[in-house]
Amino acid sequence: MNKKSMISVLAAAAMLAALTGCGAQSQPAADSQSAAPTDSVAPAETEAAAESQEAAPDDDASPAETPADTPADEAVQIDFDYNLNGTKIVVGEEADPVIEKLGEADATFEAPSCAFTGVSYFYTYGGVQVITYPDEHDQSLNRIYEVDLNNDTAATNEGITVGSTYEDMIAKYGKPSQETPAYAMYETEGKAVRFFLTGNTVSQIVYTIVIN
């Protein structure tokens, strides 16, 4: 493929991602069901556990033998900022210094912003796309809106890529803040990491600001 054809393909991909990004911002229903089934405990295992507890005197139990005293879910540390080629990208922060550090993009695209007044800019770097939005108080100032991971050449800082499984995601990130069978979100103050799922497989990963 010649250079002119490659640029055309990248521009088309950027336009498609722009449209996808607009639709990706809709929030799932709060009462959506979990994507993963709950494992059940076999009756035989339950009976064996009960007999084991009856056989051991309570006053002889050591801390190592009482896992019930240990929290079942320890807090998972999630990095809500993305690192691309050594450059830290923080959603919500000023975009121009970040774009300058990242260097020349493989493709660029601009379109009216989905959620703000003004123009958003799209910068594609391999499997990663950085999207900006105009500051609501100063439209000459652009901020980072999203960082989209669109294929398996780009991984989160925790090692999840497009193509990873739901179980891979849960192992690294723990229980989502919100989820449906097609969507899982991890949220902190003003930021979120969103995983879009096709069946049991991650199909897109989005770092984004949270709009309340």
Supply the CATH number for residue 158's domain. 2.60.460
Q: Does the residue 40 lie in any domain?
A: no
Q: Is the separation of the CB atoms in 145 and 209 below 8 Å?
A: yes
The answer to whether 160 and 168 are in contact (CB under 8 A) is yes
The residue segments making up the domain with residue 126 are 3-22+75-209
Residue 109 covered by a domain: yes
Instruction: Examine residue 111 and state whether it is found in any structural domain, yes or no.
Output: yes
Structural domain contains residue 30: no
Is the residue at 157 inside a domain? yes
Residue 33 falls inside a structural domain: no
Domain count for the chain: 1
Residue 51 lies in a domain: no
- Rounded to a whole number of angstroms, the distance between the first and last alpha carbons of the chain is 44
pTM of the model: 0.67
Distance (Å, rounded) from C-alpha 33 to C-alpha 8? 41
56 within domain boundaries: no
Chain centroid to Cα 14, Å, comes to 19
Q: Which residues pair with 146 in a beta bridge?
A: 131, 208
The answer to whether the beta carbons of residues 112 and 66 sit under 8 Å apart is no
Per-residue pLDDT of the chain (212 residues; tens, 9 = 90+): 544 444 344 444 444 444 444 544 433 333 333 333 334 334 334 344 444 444 443 444 333 333 333 233 455 789 999 999 999 999 999 999 999 999 999 999 999 988 888 999 999 999 999 999 999 888 889 999 999 999 999 999 999 999 999 999 999 999 999 999 999 999 999 999 999 999 999 999 999 999 77
